Amino acid sequence: MPYDTQPTASHFIAGEYVEDTAGDPIDVVYPYTGKVIARVHAATPAIADRALQAASDAQAAWAAMTGTERGRILRRAADIMRERNHDLSVLESCDTGKPLSETTVADATSGADALEYFGGMAATITGEHIPLAGGDFVYTRREPLGVCVGIGAWNYPTQIACWKGAPALACGNTMVFKPSETTPLCALKVAEILTEAGAPPGVYNVVQGMGAVGASLITDPRVAKVSLTGSVPTGQKVYAAAAEGLRNVTMELGGKSPQVVFDDADLEDAVSGAILGNFYSTGQVCSNGTRVFVQRGLVDAFLTRLTERLADVVMGDPMDMATNFGPMVSARQRDLVEACIAKGKAAGARLVHGGNRPDREGFFLEPTVFADVTDDMALATDEIFGPVMSVLTFDTEEEALRRANATPYGLAASVFTKDLTRAHRMAAGFEAGTCYINTHNLAPVEAPFGGSKMSGVGRENSKAAIEFYTQIKGIYVAMNPVEAPF
Ligand SMILES: NC(=O)c1ccc[n+]([C@@H]2O[C@H](COP(=O)([O-])OP(=O)(O)OC[C@H]3O[C@@H](n4cnc5c(N)ncnc54)[C@H](O)[C@@H]3O)[C@@H](O)[C@H]2O)c1
Ligand SMILES: C[N+](C)(C)CCCC=O
């Protein structure tokens, strides 16, 4: 491995790297080679306690700083991330296997956007004045929640660490972040950069570990909130554990999102949207539009153009900027997705592209397209979280919307059409938190991102995220004598 991927130590607590080799070892595997490139250790109870105490000790002073001061630190961290984008992108590619051509523009840059956006917003997080009869009034204070626990999935380790940390810190909270055990490296760099930018010790801490470490953090009495990015089954466990202490939550969970392509859509845009919404990050994206409903009159042209475009896939070394399709994150994830492909074939779906494991090292799987998929097939009901697109056929708008919504998930949805009124009708009808017209999977920091139904609770990014990292205190001010009944 030409890159130095072994971190200084496993954890980052109170402004410094901390090691405790008593914790279970976690080997970091480079998905392109299958070789171990670093080793960290899971947090022992003592390490978890140390991180929570550091976050707890730091919180009041951090909250007492002005928003302008906190924001300046976050914006400085954004600048450092941008300066180091290349190295951070290489690390993201080592951690996840995603091609450098992708990580260079979508990971540390997205994290920096969040730090800059919420840094700029920090000073604007204020209460309001509510005038009442007789000169009395109420004013509100928008206060931080306290210590927040962030728990990350493996597909966007830098982005997730920042999407949670930036709004939490802007609002005056402190954070203990536990990355996924599959991709533990990048969040440590986020902590290091925040500290270098001036975040006081304890404001942003990182501890490693499997689910059990995450579970132990949630129920600690020092914790006010938990923000999880992960699967629905994990979300259900984390939400239930948080409920015991009536803790605030943000749940960014899985999906089975629809893309609806009408006959009148721009074919090239619709195919681009389907590629972006199924094969970016080798299909390992929560909001992917894995059920592509194509109106009957366009299906043949859509499949023909899609398969033509898939000839441009360059599968290979993630560090080669020509590569646009990397390996999957792990052998386990590749095996799970292969099983879904086998199930799809057995159910009678028509395989029109891919479906195979290339004969090479690394956790590669071809981009795969099934046509003639029906709503009852596992291909159309289960989140696969890999490069598998299912194409379904429909006739009418009413049918498309009904079938698009017939899922317990509600993360994202998109419609491709040139008919303006139909586009907005569909967007209004979708049961999903994040909708698109004539595109899919874009997630700028200015826009709210999150799911409805089983796909989540709360929103990340945009002004909406502030709601989920603050609480409102109302203060009644009497300007008149107190009137009592006796
Ligand atoms: N909605 C979003 O923004 C979003 C973004 C990325 C990924 N995801 C979802 O994440 C999933 C893939 O990621 P994954 O395989 O890492 O998910 P996962 O649910 O297996 O794990 C997510 C995190 O939760 C931790 N965890 C597991 N059990 C826990 C428990 N009982 N208590 C506390 N923490 C626990 C894991 O260690 C990991 O850090 C997919 O379902 C995908 O859709 C959602
Ligand atoms: C920015 N993307 C590509 C939409 C990813 C969001 C996080 C989901 O996995």
- Crossing angle of helices 186-196 and 157-170, rounded to 10°: 40
Handedness of CA 279, 283, 284, 289 (dihedral sign): positive
CA-178 nearest atom, ligand 1: 39
Among 252, 383, 397, 431, the one annotated catalytic: 252
Element (H or E) spanning 115, and its range?
helix 108-121
What is the ipTM, given to two decimal places?
Answer: 0.97
Ligand 1 centroid from CA 63, angstroms:
29
pLDDT along the chain (486 residues), means of 10: 88 98 98 98 98 99 98 98 98 98 98 98 98 98 98 98 98 99 98 98 98 98 98 98 98 98 98 98 98 98 98 97 98 98 98 97 98 98 98 98 98 98 98 98 98 98 98 98 95
CA-237 nearest atom, ligand 1: 31
Angle, CA 359 vertex, CA 353 and CA 361 arms, to 5°: 120
| Spatial contact of 32 and 362, defined as CB atoms under 8 Å apart | yes
Reduced DSSP (H G I as helix, E B as strand, rest coil) percent helix, strand, coil of the chain, to 5: 40, 20, 40
Active-site residue flag, 383: no
Ligand 2 binding pocket mutation candidate from 92, 159, 439, 462 (most atoms within 8 A of CB): 159
Give the separation between CA 415 and CA 44, rounded to whole angstroms.
Answer: 48
Ligand 2 centroid from CA 107, angstroms:
10
pLDDT in tens, 12-44: 999 999 999 999 999 999 999 999 999 999 999
What secondary structure does DSSP assign to 14-81, as a single string?
Answer: TTEEE--TTSPEEEEEETTTTEEEEEEEPPPHHHHHHHHHHHHHHHHHHHHS-HHHHHHHHHHHHHHH
Residue nearest to ligand 1 atom 43, measured at CA: 254
What pLDDT sits at residue 3? Answer: 80
CA-286 nearest atom, ligand 1: 43
Neighbours of 14 (CB within 10 A): 18
Ligand 2 centroid from CA 412, angstroms:
11
Ligand 2 centroid from CA 85, angstroms:
18
Ligand 1 binding pocket mutation candidate from 176, 182, 208, 231 (most atoms within 8 A of CB): 231
Ligand 2 binding pocket mutation candidate from 441, 460, 462 (most atoms within 8 A of CB): 441
Ligand 2 binding pocket (C-beta < 6 A) is 155-156, 285-287, 441, 443
Q: Look at the block and give the residue holding tokens 């523009």.
A: 105
> Which ligand does the CA of 223 lie closest to?
1
Q: Which domains does the chain possess?
A: 11-254+455-473 (3.40.605.10), 258-437 (3.40.309.10)
Residue nearest to ligand 2 atom 8, measured at CA: 286
What pLDDT sits at residue 1? Answer: 63
Residue nearest to ligand 2 atom 4, measured at CA: 441
Instruction: Establish whether residue 152 lines the binding site of ligand 1, counting it when its CB lies within 6 angstroms of any ligand atom.
Output: yes
> Which ligand does the CA of 451 lie closest to?
1
Ligand 1 binding pocket mutation candidate from 234, 251, 452 (most atoms within 8 A of CB): 234
| Spatial contact of 267 and 277, defined as CB atoms under 8 Å apart | no
| Spatial contact of 31 and 363, defined as CB atoms under 8 Å apart | yes
Instruction: Establish whether residue 230 lines the binding site of ligand 1, counting it when its CB lies within 6 angstroms of any ligand atom.
Output: yes
> Which ligand does the CA of 113 lie closest to?
2
Which 3 state secondary structure label does DSSP give 213? helix
Element (H or E) spanning 229, and its range?
strand 223-229
> Which ligand does the CA of 455 lie closest to?
1
What pLDDT sits at residue 2? Answer: 62
